[in-house]
Structure 1
């Protein structure tokens, strides 16, 4: 078999081409259910088992079900054939609401997507949800980078986001899980979380912020005060001998990781000028991109 320059390398058609296909499909459906390929029995439609979104708000589903009872499904689901069934590529929320509305048939558009492309679309569909919180959005970007090797530039181009937006969200994932839960639960905003990245004890300060209902500016001032050298200290505290990294090192790792789109780890010996930086790539595309960046004069 000939191996041409268009040989697929793990990313199928590429994120931009894939999302353009989905966008074109959804644009065509805006004229109504007649744009669907077919109507299929709802029991023959099954969800994607690797769908990243696991929680669907009951109240939102009921509202959508009410709309479907009155007007039907305006935008058909995008599916792919799987044996005698149809697996959802995009539109699981509509499928769940249609079940509540007791529809017997639903409109679908059938597309030939690979397993990789199905998961990519599912992740991107979640990222583009209006009600997504900052941590869920950041986790979606991280999964696209780690699992599929997409760079920040590729994601920004395909999703219509700025690279700085993606980089700032990815930095939030440096925070402890307990702090991230506060953001997921709506107790802290993304702005509060960004301010806490530089804190020595993000969890302790997060609790103070929540208890005192502090603004983002007040949180930044609190972090700055905590990070200032204590009375009698002439220099900031160095990284401990145990190998625990200080906040500045973690922040720098996050900035480098976000900038490169690859995981970067810094190992700096306390009191010395030398150290080590390790860059981890997840695919040959990422290695190619890293070599290109390092060879730029």
Structure 2
């Protein structure tokens, strides 16, 4: 078990200048099965390969011994770009790492770069929680993130595969995905996602559509009433905090705040957030 992801960074990433750099054959190295990145930008790889042709690999990759060869822990982009550049060897640091340490190191290195897709981040968080047996709150503390940030990403994994692909490709945003999760009739998610794409709906427009569908009121007969700007902003803030739909209804000097939950687990998650705020 890792002692802590935040504190563990120094242990996992010691100063490479103190380690021996070896020149390894590319064909002796295989990809990391724990690599969280599933999409590698072709143009970016080609640009990096051109740089490697001219200057070589400036920072060694990190590998671990597996069988008679090696497995990449950190540096798969450099490895792929070196292949594109026609290189036969690559500078590398060989470390003795367990499966858990290799997974943790690969995920942390990619999360630090902050260029993963929302789905890759969600899957990385989920994998860390399962492998290290962490709760969302514990993971948030170790990574220095907020609990809603972790919850909002992981909730995306409940979306249909087709919608997950669209978010990964940037066709739909994380905001679109979170809004689609607010549909009471989950069988409508794919159809409404397709409508969102075909009509180029932004998140606010999609939120309005989802609200109309949930209320089961025909769009042509629905009377629109503009919500107070302050209340709308507060709803948005609470929606970010709780990672779910929040509605504020105000009548004269009284009103109510409705927080939607989608399952017993979601209910417990919201209760924990409320209890943390006390």
Question: Normalization by structure 2: what TM-score?
Answer: 0.70
Task: Please say if residues 100 and 131 of structure 2, whose CA atoms lie closer than 8 Å, have aligned partners that are also in contact.
Answer: no
Check if 1:222 corresponds to 2:234.
no
SS in 2 for 1:213: coil
Q: What does 1:48-87 align with in structure 2 at a 5 Å threshold? A: 48-87=32-71
Which ranges of structure 2 fall in alignment gaps of 5 or more residues? Answer: 219-259
Q: What's the CA shift for 1:71?
A: 2.0
**CA shift digits 1:94-131 (9 cap, x unpaired):** 11211222334322223221112112222333434443
Task: Please say if residues 2 and 132 of structure 2, whose CA atoms lie closer than 8 Å, have aligned partners that are also in contact.
Answer: no
Give the total of aligned pairs: 229
Q: What's the CA shift for 1:214?
A: 1.2
| Equivalent-residue separation in structure 1 for 2:54 and 2:204 (angstroms) | 47
Match of 2:21 in 1: 38
| Equivalent-residue separation in structure 2 for 1:252 and 1:35 (angstroms) | 50
SS in 2 for 1:74: coil
Which ranges of structure 1 fall in alignment gaps of 5 or more residues? Answer: 1-10, 232-247, 261-292
Match of 2:262 in 1: 250
| Equivalent-residue separation in structure 2 for 1:107 and 1:259 (angstroms) | 50
Match of 1:204 in 2: 191
Task: Please say if residues 135 and 169 of structure 1, whose CA atoms lie closer than 8 Å, have aligned partners that are also in contact.
Answer: yes
Of 119, 125, 130 in structure 1, the residue corresponding to residue 109 of structure 2 is 125
Task: Please say if residues 24 and 91 of structure 2, whose CA atoms lie closer than 8 Å, have aligned partners that are also in contact.
Answer: no
**CA shift digits 1:195-242 (9 cap, x unpaired):** 1111122222212211111111111111111111448xxxxxxxxxxx
| Equivalent-residue separation in structure 2 for 1:259 and 1:143 (angstroms) | 24
| Equivalent-residue separation in structure 1 for 2:102 and 2:155 (angstroms) | 27
Task: Please say if residues 179 and 206 of structure 1, whose CA atoms lie closer than 8 Å, have aligned partners that are also in contact.
Answer: yes
Task: Please say if residues 135 and 184 of structure 1, whose CA atoms lie closer than 8 Å, have aligned partners that are also in contact.
Answer: yes
Moved more, 176-185 or 220-229: 176-185
Residues 85/18 of structure 1: CA separation in 2 closer, same or farther (3 Å cut): farther
SS in 2 for 1:173: helix
Residues 70/163 of structure 1: CA separation in 2 closer, same or farther (3 Å cut): farther
Residues 182/114 of structure 1: CA separation in 2 closer, same or farther (3 Å cut): same
Task: Please say if residues 36 and 107 of structure 1, whose CA atoms lie closer than 8 Å, have aligned partners that are also in contact.
Answer: no
Task: Please say if residues 196 and 202 of structure 1, whose CA atoms lie closer than 8 Å, have aligned partners that are also in contact.
Answer: yes
Q: Which runs of 4+ in 1 moved over 6 A?
A: none
Task: Please say if residues 50 and 85 of structure 2, whose CA atoms lie closer than 8 Å, have aligned partners that are also in contact.
Answer: yes
Of 72, 75, 99 in structure 2, the residue corresponding to residue 115 of structure 1 is 99
